[in-house]
Chains A and B, each alone.
Chain A
Amino acid sequence: MFLRLFKSELFRASKFKSTYILIIVLFVISMFLNLVTLKFDFLGVYGMDSEQYIRLAEGGNSMEGVNDAAQVGTIMGESMVTSNTEEVKILGEGLFYSADIPTLFQIHVSDLDPIMLLAIFVGIFAGDIISTGVNKNLVISNNKRNLLFAARATVIAIYAVIIHIFTWLFTLFGAAIWAEKVDLGWSQHAVGYWFVSLLLTIVFAILIYAITVLTKSKAAGITIGVVLSTGALSLIISIADWAIKKKLDVKSDFSVANYLLTENLGSLRVDYTNTALIRALVVAAFYTVVGIVVVAVINKKRDLA
């Protein structure tokens, strides 16, 4: 029965225009990010010369740090970076011009745009069930409805895999056009990162599905998914961190963010530490259980509208 329901749901997903449009949007976003990271000459835009860049880099600053310094220098008028507006140029060698594919892929994944698009797909796919009442066509008991959930979750997971693969392919495509070289950079960590980030992506999608089912709202699923993937919760997280640290005896590096799916996905690096890896896996497992339990309980308790 699962296989039949899965086929039916796969067919339904294949008939949404958004299923394909979102891939096109992913391509556009990815190519823009590729352009910015590989070809957008931040130093040139801020009028920095290469000596200043080297000096900053030698000072132990990361590429992001250099980028921040360039912006701070320009915006705040700090003396650390001297702008020379006469030498402004936009295209040239981007900050990640020489980076390998896993690093570039990590930038795409941690940017959270792919999961934002995934959240939109899940909201549409799952929300459509509620708006059309299509479940009513399938006469099955509330207990058996879990099979339907499993079939839909599988379709969602497959779409998450597709999004992940396309993100990697678009990274590769961008690198082939704009990077210094295409360095696949396969390593155990690169493969590990690929799969752990995929796992977090799938779990995020299932969680958005659970939220959509719970709220019976397509809009709620999409909105929550987009909010989570745009980092709009950072202020709330900071307040929560402050409150928890004030009330409880926790370590100084404690942060609620460490226990959120999107924050783990955003902060995970190709050269991850074991601690980061284990934390990501535990968080993924926790939210998987939460998602499944929520939907299972709803399926059992809630009548079809």
Chain B
Amino acid sequence: MEDYLLVTENLSKLYKGVAAVDKVNLHIKKGCIYGLIGKNGAGKTTIMKMISGMASPSSGSFSYVGFNGGTDEAFSRIGVLIEAPALQPNLTAYDNMKMKCLAYGIGDKQYINDKLELVGLGKVGKKKAGKFSLGMKQRLGIALALVGEPDFLILDEPINGLDPQGIVEVRELLTKLNEEKKMTILISSHILEELAKVATDYAIINNGVIIEESTNAELKEKCRDKIVIKSADVSKILPILDSNDFSDYQVIDNNTIYVYNRLNDISILNMEIAKAGIMLDSIGVEASDLEEYFLKVTGTVTGDIA
């Protein structure tokens, strides 16, 4: 069994009888950056709220198997930024931090300054949070989530409102926290390309249901450009692939083969298969990035992805 930090089992949440989250099974490994992908209202935030104690599951359970003390210990080792950052607008960034630090028994002034510095707010610590831009609020929200050096960081759309430089900084920060402090991170974002740059594992959620859970490598494999062959005679096609140097392939099911090399030689492959007298349903090159893949698996034609 892998070294999991959090496992959910049929985790569900009903609102007025409607399932916002339906029998979700997540397996979050220790030390991973776990990307939660889904449209608006797919159930990402609800999942995050349930596993951070903000909402009670209607049924199912979650277990912090990576913590010896169970949920209580886990809750003391979790940092969260869920939905909009919860800030006191009448307080400065420093005082917002101090309020949380006091609740965590941290009284060190330098600690607060270091955290503000870490998220790029070192120079605006005395500015009231109510006067912050959206991006600055996000940064402060991340700084608040980092108070107490959590082992598990839950970030809901953390790069919302950030400028391009801010996005890069947050990405680098998350990577640094993950690599240097071995922090496990659960993150959702509507900017899938950005998510793809940091996440090591993914779950795609749609209408409260997990469509698939995969590693970054598996997802990249699925998103690779490839020749897709559809035929009822898959077994007869394989020797032709081998003998014509189309060696990097994968049999997906009884009717489908993906070929990942010599994509420009599709006409040659088509001709060789035809020469062998094998009927094809279709053959063609398919290119997809994470976004396209997401749209495909969730059955989304157009619309906002978040």
A77 to B80 Cα, complex, angstroms: 71
Q: Does B32 contact A (CB under 8 A)?
A: no
Asked if B88 and A139 make an inter-chain contact with CB atoms under 8 angstroms apart, the answer reads no
Asked if B82 and A132 make an inter-chain contact with CB atoms under 8 angstroms apart, the answer reads no
Which chain B residues (95-125) contact chain A, with CB distance < 8 Å?
95, 98-100, 102-105
CB of A8 to closest CB in B, whole Å: 4
Q: Does B144 contact A (CB under 8 A)?
A: yes
Q: Which of B49-57, B166-174, B215-223, B258-266 contacts A (4 or more CB under 8 A)?
A: B49-57
CB of A264 to closest CB in B, whole Å: 35
Q: Does B281 contact A (CB under 8 A)?
A: no
A137 to B87 Cα, complex, angstroms: 9
Pick the residue among A4, A128, A140, A303 that contacts B102 (CB under 8 A).
A4
Asked if B56 and A4 make an inter-chain contact with CB atoms under 8 angstroms apart, the answer reads no
Asked if B88 and A140 make an inter-chain contact with CB atoms under 8 angstroms apart, the answer reads no
As a 0/1 sequence over residues 52 to 90 of chain B, the CB contacts with chain A under 8 angstroms (1 = contact) are: 111110000000000000011001101110111011111
Interface band, chain B: 20 to 34
Asked if A134 and B75 make an inter-chain contact with CB atoms under 8 angstroms apart, the answer reads no
A15 to B104 Cα, complex, angstroms: 19
**Chain B neighbourhood of A4, CB < 8 A:** 102-105
A134 to B80 Cα, complex, angstroms: 12
A301 to B58 Cα, complex, angstroms: 11
Which chain B residues (135-151) contact chain A, with CB distance < 8 Å?
144-145
CB of A304 to closest CB in B, whole Å: 4
CB of A96 to closest CB in B, whole Å: 40
CB of A216 to closest CB in B, whole Å: 15
**Chain A neighbourhood of B100, CB < 8 A:** 8, 137-138
**Chain A neighbourhood of B102, CB < 8 A:** 4, 7-8, 11
**Chain A neighbourhood of B105, CB < 8 A:** 4
Q: Does B283 contact A (CB under 8 A)?
A: no
CB of A257 to closest CB in B, whole Å: 38
Q: Does A135 contact B (CB under 8 A)?
A: yes
A243 to B73 Cα, complex, angstroms: 55
Q: A11-B102, A12-B99, A304-B54 are in contact. Are A139 and B86 (CB under 8 A)?
A: no
Asked if A303 and B54 make an inter-chain contact with CB atoms under 8 angstroms apart, the answer reads yes
Pick the residue among A17, A132, A144, A301 that contacts B86 (CB under 8 A).
A132
Residues of A within 8 Å of B, CB-based: how many? 25
Asked if B49 and A304 make an inter-chain contact with CB atoms under 8 angstroms apart, the answer reads yes
> Which chain B residue lies CB-closest to A7?
B102
A140 to B148 Cα, complex, angstroms: 14
A108 to B18 Cα, complex, angstroms: 54
**Chain A neighbourhood of B91, CB < 8 A:** 12, 15
**Chain A neighbourhood of B145, CB < 8 A:** 137
Q: A12-B99, A303-B49, A304-B49 are in contact. Are A139 and B84 (CB under 8 A)?
A: no
Q: Does A141 contact B (CB under 8 A)?
A: yes
As a 0/1 sequence over residues 112 to 152 of chain A, the CB contacts with chain B under 8 angstroms (1 = contact) are: 00000000000000001000111111111110100000000
**Chain B neighbourhood of A15, CB < 8 A:** 88, 90-91, 95
Q: Does A16 contact B (CB under 8 A)?
A: yes
**Chain A neighbourhood of B76, CB < 8 A:** 139
A206 to B149 Cα, complex, angstroms: 34
Asked if B86 and A137 make an inter-chain contact with CB atoms under 8 angstroms apart, the answer reads yes
Pick the residue among A8, A128, A136, A140 that contacts B75 (CB under 8 A).
A140
A17 to B84 Cα, complex, angstroms: 25
A304 to B105 Cα, complex, angstroms: 23
**Chain B neighbourhood of A301, CB < 8 A:** 56
Q: Does A283 contact B (CB under 8 A)?
A: no
Asked if A142 and B88 make an inter-chain contact with CB atoms under 8 angstroms apart, the answer reads no
Q: A141-B71, A303-B56, A304-B55 are in contact. Are A133 and B99 (CB under 8 A)?
A: no
A136 to B78 Cα, complex, angstroms: 12
Asked if A5 and B56 make an inter-chain contact with CB atoms under 8 angstroms apart, the answer reads no
**Chain A neighbourhood of B89, CB < 8 A:** 132
CB of A37 to closest CB in B, whole Å: 37
**Chain B neighbourhood of A142, CB < 8 A:** 53, 56
**Chain A neighbourhood of B49, CB < 8 A:** 303-304
CB of B107 to closest CB in A, whole Å: 9
CB of A124 to closest CB in B, whole Å: 10
A15 to B102 Cα, complex, angstroms: 14
As a 0/1 sequence over residues 41 to 71 of chain A, the CB contacts with chain B under 8 angstroms (1 = contact) are: 0000000000000000000000000000000
Which 7 residue pairs are nearest across A and B when measured between Cβ atoms?
A303-B55, A8-B103, A8-B102, A304-B54, A133-B86, A141-B53, A136-B86
Q: List 18 A-B contacts (CB under 8 A).
A: A8-B99, A11-B99, A128-B88, A134-B86, A134-B88, A134-B99, A137-B80, A137-B100, A137-B145, A139-B75, A139-B76, A139-B79, A140-B53, A141-B71, A141-B75, A142-B56, A144-B75, A303-B49
Q: A136-B80, A136-B83 are in contact. List 4 more A-B contacts (CB 8 A).
A: A7-B103, A15-B91, A134-B88, A304-B54
